[in-house]
A and B are shown apart, each in its own frame.
Chain A
């Protein structure tokens, strides 16, 4: 009885793990297999033609990169500021916990809520219409928690002895931040940014009302009424109403490129995350 329970638990949980891994690996395999044939140099460097049935996704890629870089530029100072306030400048545990809770909650806010927020504030109130900048700002707000929390964890892991040694040399808090804390914890900013970008790259909901259109945009020339194309929105639109087989293969191709972009960003974030894992397990 006890023996069979012992065996049963191992078998059942092994089965669950196998199903979970198979599901997720199978998903990537399906995308790769269907999208693979469509992806070639021309696909990446040509612009869309015939409502997605021909041509490539060049401007979609460019648009996504514009959105990502503007989001990162806006997000970094805010996230670093928040992390420093939480770890260095706030002295009492109460406000610190409040700030952390706020960040965790912000992290759980659905993308569509950010999208509606951006639509109200930037598209309507600021009168920008659909603009790359509204998209960048909205995505920046969305990935702040990821970057800030990642940096906070690293700051926490900086050994106390370094801080004490620096203080012993007569450095003040601000000097310690620049000389010890940020250099030691910079990996947290990098990891957090990569993960944040990986998330932002694939999101449609925050940018569908604020920044991106399906066709007819190239490089933005200003702020007002300057939308961009983007990769996830492209897939989103084509997926809804396309049963044309030639669109189909382009569609899978676009999905494969997006998936590759996102996985690439998460994979380069991996080594430093694993390091943190190892340290946490010692």
Chain B
């Protein structure tokens, strides 16, 4: 009986997950018929003209996540090295608890702070580049950096603590300094775990919706001529998530192709975050071996 129930509930859950993936593949089929590969490579999205190119949104999603990662990674690694390698155990636990609690702050609260504070700071700070407003890709990236910082710190700290202390003691016994021990023992041996921390944080950044929605400007079809043009960071943009969170989702349902295009965005997002999360967990796991 217990066994049957366990299996039953598991199958319900697994069925729901299968249904989830199935729905996204199936419902997005019309747009793949309509656009083909152009759905991913196309740079224009005008739903009234039935033109659905998602490249600017993919660009926005990736750029915003990368800005976040570039800002948060050094800070997060630094902080994790300090908590794991320098702080005594009790203080370390206290700091870790604090940081983990803050990892749970809802994204709408981050979004609120972004809209009421960060937006103006960014606008004032970069005034001489004449941004149209404080709603920019950069604003979203900076906000995301703060949001993923706890993830990076706490996972990197775990990875560093996973390195056996006998190794550290042996290195100190040879006369290496504390810093040399960190750089030659702890970091190299924890590198898979640190990589996993980055990937899982990246996954979170790619999928974050509400905070990004509130500060990214939601400007369609904004793709710079040069992919690495920094000025474009100070323009409003659109990410996959901010598009999905907008009112277009409600309008689109009646129209097969248009709805397919919206669901297709969710499918792209699912593939991106799924890949990154899978890589991240697989990456972290093998470090135990």
- Asked if chains A and B are in direct contact (CB within 8 A), the reply is yes
Distance in Å from the Cβ of B84 to the closest Cβ of chain A?
9
B70 at the interface (CB under 8 A from A): no
* Contact (Cβ within 8 A) B269 A25: no
Binds A, one of B17-25, B47-55, B221-229: B17-25
| B231-272 with Cβ < 8 A to chain A | 241, 244-245, 249-250, 253, 262-263, 266, 269-270
Tell me which of B17, B78, B104 contacts A262 (CB under 8 A). B104
20 contacts between A and B (CB under 8 A): A2-B177, A8-B179, A13-B79, A20-B149, A24-B99, A27-B113, A109-B207, A109-B270, A109-B274, A121-B19, A141-B13, A173-B2, A174-B2, A195-B104, A204-B106, A209-B250, A232-B108, A266-B104, A274-B93, A281-B161
Given contacts A109-B207, A113-B269, A198-B104, A174 and B3 within 8 Å (CB-CB) = yes
* Contact (Cβ within 8 A) A81 B7: yes
What mask results when residues 11 to 55 of chain B are scored 1 for a CB within 8 Å of chain A, else 0? 011101101100110010000000000000000000000000000
Residues of chain B within 8 A (CB-CB) of A81 are 5-10, 12-13
* Contact (Cβ within 8 A) A104 B281: yes
Tell me which of A115, A173, A263 contacts B3 (CB under 8 A). A173
Given contacts A6-B178, A24-B102, A117-B20, A251 and B27 within 8 Å (CB-CB) = no
A78 to B107, CA, bound (A): 26
Tell me which of A6, A17, A79, A252 contacts B78 (CB under 8 A). A17
A197 to B200, CA, bound (A): 21
Nearest residue in B to A238 (C-beta to C-beta)? B112
Residues of chain B within 8 A (CB-CB) of A116 are 24, 244, 249, 262-263, 266
Q: Interface size of A by Cβ–Cβ distance < 8 Å?
A: 88
What mask results when residues 76 to 108 of chain B are scored 1 for a CB within 8 Å of chain A, else 0? 111101110110010001010111111011111
A120 to B161, CA, bound (A): 44
A65 to B215, CA, bound (A): 28
Residues of chain B within 8 A (CB-CB) of A21 are 79, 95, 98-99
B-side binding surface: helix, strand, loop or mixed? helix
* Contact (Cβ within 8 A) A23 B146: yes
A3 to B209, CA, bound (A): 46
* Contact (Cβ within 8 A) B9 A270: no
Residues of chain B within 8 A (CB-CB) of A281 are 89, 161
* Contact (Cβ within 8 A) B276 A108: yes
Residue with the highest number of chain B CB atoms closer than 10 Å, among A5, A78, A109:
A109
Residues of chain A within 8 A (CB-CB) of B98 are 21, 24-25
Tell me which of B10, B115, B245, B253 contacts A208 (CB under 8 A). B245
Residues of chain A within 8 A (CB-CB) of B74 are 16
* Contact (Cβ within 8 A) B266 A270: no
A84 to B101, CA, bound (A): 28
* Contact (Cβ within 8 A) A236 B111: yes
* Contact (Cβ within 8 A) B245 A205: yes
Tell me which of A5, A85, A195, A258 contacts B179 (CB under 8 A). A5
8 nearest A-B pairs in the assembled complex, by CB-CB distance: A202-B106, A110-B207, A16-B78, A81-B9, A108-B277, A13-B82, A174-B2, A9-B179
Nearest residue in A to B26 (C-beta to C-beta)? A120
* Contact (Cβ within 8 A) B149 A239: no
A104 to B279, CA, bound (A): 11
What mask results when residues 77 to 109 of chain A are scored 1 for a CB within 8 Å of chain B, else 0? 111111011001100000000000110111111
